[in-house]
Amino acid sequence: MDKPRQDIESEIERTLSTLDEVERVSGNPFLYTRIQEQMRQSKTGSSSKRAAAWSLAFAVLLLLVNISSVLMYYQKSVQADQAAGIEAIASEYGLLDQEEDWEY
């Protein structure tokens, strides 16, 4: 093995062996307090999110009810107009009287 290659291999081994010298890190004594705080905040956050979701759902429902009422009203008035139109044409051509005659 030539010199540069040997140097590279020894550098690699030295670098890999630095892991043996890494010391373990001890935890933060206040970690539990921080976790409690984070959990409290996430609970508050999730309950306000839930409230917002309910409000949104209610608003959407209200909107749907409104839209369907308008549609139903419009449909009824169109039907009434159509019926009135047919009746007018029928009476104009005397169809209504003829209908009465046919009953005999």
Q: Which residues bind other proteins (CB under 8 A)?
A: 4, 7-9, 11-12, 14-16, 18-19, 21-28, 31-32, 34-35, 38-39, 42
CB of 16 to other proteins, least distance (A): 7
**How many CB atoms are closer than 10 A to CB 90?**
14
* Nearby residues of 85 by Cβ (< 8 Å), 6 or more positions away: none
The encoded tokens of residue 56 equal 């949104």
CB of 48 to other proteins, least distance (A): 18
DSSP H stretches of helix in the chain? 3-17, 31-92, 95-102
Of the pair 34, 49, the CB lying nearest other proteins is at 34
Helix/strand/coil for 25: coil
Whether 96 contacts 90, CB under 8 Å: yes
Of the pair 20, 100, the CB lying nearest other proteins is at 20
CB of 50 to other proteins, least distance (A): 16
Of the pair 10, 68, the CB lying nearest other proteins is at 10
